[in-house]
Structure 1
Amino acid sequence: MQIHRALFYYQPSQYQEINLLDSFASSDVEIEGLNDLIQAFANSDLIELQEEHDTLLAGIGDMEAPPWGSVYLDREEVIFGESTLVFRTFLRECNLDFNTPQNEPEDQVGLMLMVLGILLEQGRIDRATTLLDKHLNTWFDQFIKRFNQHAQNPSYQALGHFSQDLVTTINQAVQAE
């Protein structure tokens, strides 16, 4: 889950600075398709990745796939909307606090996937189920459809499809609990 947070959240120009791809490539975790995803990003042209990230996720020009839940859920389609405040309350209830470098809404897809991963790692299935049912699942399908439709770079295409499969698998797993 951490790789998804990182790839949706960080600018490609930051990958080397934070040693992102090397740290995930050296992981002992074997998840089908994950190593291919990491290699796709590692072998991609940084400028092309940055352009794709900016177009899809960073709000430079017309943002094709806004990564914030409130854009999909709130009547005004704005960031920091009511759904962001509800998710912020959920984070407090989970005793999770995020200080992002920018004043960014907490309902960013990468941050939500990171929180989901933390809750699952901690065995807090009830909280993970709440996150899925009341927060992520309420808008993720709209987001990922737009993301997959507009992604041009093979690395981002792989990220979209892998993330969609992962969220589907996690939903099925927590429902089976």
Structure 2
Amino acid sequence: MNENYADAFAAVWTTLASVLRTEAPTEETIAALRDPDLLAQWPLTDPELGEVGAGALAGVKELGSSEESWQEIADDQFRLIRGPGEPIAVPWESVYRSLEGLLFEEQTMQVREFYKRFNLQAPRLNVEPDDHISLELDFCVQLLARGLEAAADGQPEVARRHFDAHDEFCREHLLQWAPTFFQRLSAGATTAFYRGIGLLGQDALQRLRTLVEPDAR
């Protein structure tokens, strides 16, 4: 991943993580994501980064058409990724990838070890699983931000190490389950807001796959 893509994906991961946490997004966050001027600058609709995908355009359109109240969006978020009962789009990697489909399985520990390589850990260690979608996206942001900072400081080897670690983490973890998560999110959403988030997530991961998995091109 080069610096231009690193900057774009850092912004994308930050945005997606902000509305996929265990608490509902704030009214300010929702308003920002529906702002026409900001939507027009969605990083992966920049033609300088390559061909713009239909998913990105559809996701931006859904967010732009979202007129739901904060309560409607909060209720949809609760139903989609928190419950009641089993969420429609379960937000933990190990549920998708472990044999028993349980929390705190082998994948969770693998993610924890990856965080530790960069002196990071989940904020609610041993309470909330480390492989929550928002935590994995936050970790990706950290790697890209550190890489971009190193590049700006004239440390290309440090920058490359962080960019490569981001790509490795995505190949081994995020790309193994998050496409299904975002598909379920958009398919199960009752609001245009979360349909848009699901579509933007799917598009970002599809674009990412072509960057970090040569055979996917």
TM bucket normalised to smaller: 0.7 to 0.9
Question: What is the root-mean-square deviation in Å for CA atoms of aligned residues?
Answer: 2.9
Structure 1 residues 113 and 36: alpha-carbon distance in aligned structure 2, compared to 1, 3 A threshold: farther
TM-score normalised to structure 2 length: 0.67
Shift of 1:8: 0.8
Shift of 1:20: 3.3
Corresponding residue number in structure 1 for 2:122: 98
Q: Name whichever structure is richer in helix by fraction.
A: 2
TM-score normalised to structure 1 length: 0.81
Q: Which of these two proteins has the greater Rg computed from alpha carbons?
A: 2
Preserved CA contact (<8 Å) 2:179 2:201: no
* Corresponding residue to 1:6 among 14, 18, 22: 18
Aligned pair count reads 172
The AA in structure 2 aligned to 1:61 is G
Could you give the per-residue CA deviations for residues 86-142 of structure 1, whole angstroms, max 9, x where no partner exists? 100110012222314992111111221121122122221111111111111111222
* Corresponding residue to 2:29 among 20, 23, 26: 20
The AA in structure 2 aligned to 1:114 is D
Counting aligned pairs with the same residue, the percent is: 22
Preserved CA contact (<8 Å) 1:4 1:114: no
Q: Distance between the aligned counterparts of 1:110 and 1:37, measured in 2?
A: 21
1:161 pairs with 2:205: no
Could you give the per-residue CA deviations for residues 41-97 of structure 1, whole angstroms, max 9, x where no partner exists? 6x4312211221111101323311101001101111111111101100110012222
* Corresponding residue to 1:74 among 98, 101, 125: 98
1:30 pairs with 2:54: no
Task: Mark the runs of 5 or more structure 2 residues left unpaired by the alignment.
Answer: 1-12, 46-56, 148-161
* Corresponding residue to 2:178 among 140, 151, 174: 140
